[in-house]
Amino acid sequence: MNQVLLVSCAEHMQNGDSGEPDDRTLMEALEARRVRVRSASWDDPTVDWAEPSLCIIRSAWDYHHRLAQFLQWAEEVAAVTTLWNPPPVLRWNTTKTYLRDLELVGGIPIVPTVWLEAGATVDLASLLAERGWQQAVIKPLVSTNAYATRLLSRSMLAEGQVQLDSLLAGRSVMLQPFLTTTSGYGERSLVFLDGVLTHAFRKRSALAAHEDPFGEIPVTPTLREALLARSILQRAAELIQWGAASASFLFARVDLVQDGAGNPRLMELELVEPRLRLADAPWGLERLVQAIVARCGAGIQLVPV
């Protein structure tokens, strides 16, 4: 019996195991505690999802192509075993309108955003002028790993208009100003494991990689960033109302950026399948392992010595 199953996607499965560094690090840590663990793609029809005591979504990085199927899969898995993070969290966090919820209901400062419905006709030049933006980033409302994310600019309006029209033809999107701080100060990814801030790292900007001399490095968040991140998670739990008030998200990553005035704002809240850079944080890794073992319950089966 496989007690813990790490959920990946077909693209990242290698020789029966996920080849993602975070997944491998977590598997090795669990195996060191003599916990039975393996990985599988979420859409693998041969998997008996009732077999493991606990399924943990880790690198299912293709769900945005088949969101309805992914959410249906999550409901079915949660009906026969324990899934973390659970389906109510996934339903809310897989569409970026969660940012609008956090801003309008939770009072959380996000990056200024224009929400555009699929099929809308929008004049890019007029929109940028109205907002006073020299550059803007457009993202689909359902997207992972910067999928279909584009940088639009006043200096290349014709090309930008084509990109905007192309995306709006088939999907709802969001438009935000491009913050130059993302290629300097960078996005700050604050990692919470079982409700505790364990570590943070500077996230490389996918749209400004050629201007980014720093890359991804461990960082220490400011007190202001840490307090905002905790507030974001509290508001998220209240908005989701997932019936587990006494439980923490098993994992969460809060991505913050600085605006032009140096104020932290929420860029993304990742509750589905975030990279956590576990190898950089041994204490955080241990906390995650302990939380997984606790969620497996008293009946956890250990590998014989």
Asked if residue 303 is part of any domain, the answer here is no
Pick the last residue of a domain from 163, 178, 193: 178
Annotate 84-134 with DSSP letters as a single string.
Answer: ES-HHHHHHHTSTTHHHHHHHTT---B---EEE-TT----HHHHHHHHT-S
> Which one, of 243, 175, 189, 236, lies nearest residue 217 by Cα?
189
Domain that holds residue 23: 4-91+286-296
pLDDT digits (tens, 9 = 90+) for 183-224: 778 899 999 999 999 999 998 766 655 555 567 899 999 999
- Mean pLDDT, the chain, rounded, equals 89
* Same structural domain, 228 and 104: yes
Instruction: Of 32-36, 158-162, 180-184, give the range with the top mean pLDDT.
Output: 32-36
CATH number at residue 240: 3.30.470.20
Residues 26 and 48 in one domain: yes
**Arithmetic mean of pLDDT, 229-246:** 83
Is the previous residue joined to 85 through a cis bond, with omega within 30 degrees of 0? yes
Shared-domain flag, residues 102 and 209 = yes
Q: Are residues 128 and 66 in the same domain?
A: no
Domains contained in the chain, number: 3
Q: Are residues 103 and 195 in the same domain?
A: yes
Residues 137 and 162 in one domain: yes
User: According to the model, what pLDDT value does residue 300 have?
Assistant: 44
Q: Report the chain's C-alpha Rg in angstroms.
A: 20
Give backbone dihedrals phi and psi of 299, rounded to 5 degrees, phi first.
-90, 20
Say if pTM beats, i.e. exceeds, 0.85.
yes
Residues 190 and 234 in one domain: yes
The string of pLDDT tens digits covering residues 50-106 is 999 999 999 999 999 999 999 999 999 999 999 999 999 999 999 999 999 999 998
**pLDDT confidence bin for 304, thresholds 50/70/90:** very low
Q: Are strands 217-218 and 251-258 parallel, antiparallel or unpaired?
A: unpaired
User: 19 pLDDT band (50/70/90 cuts)?
Assistant: confident
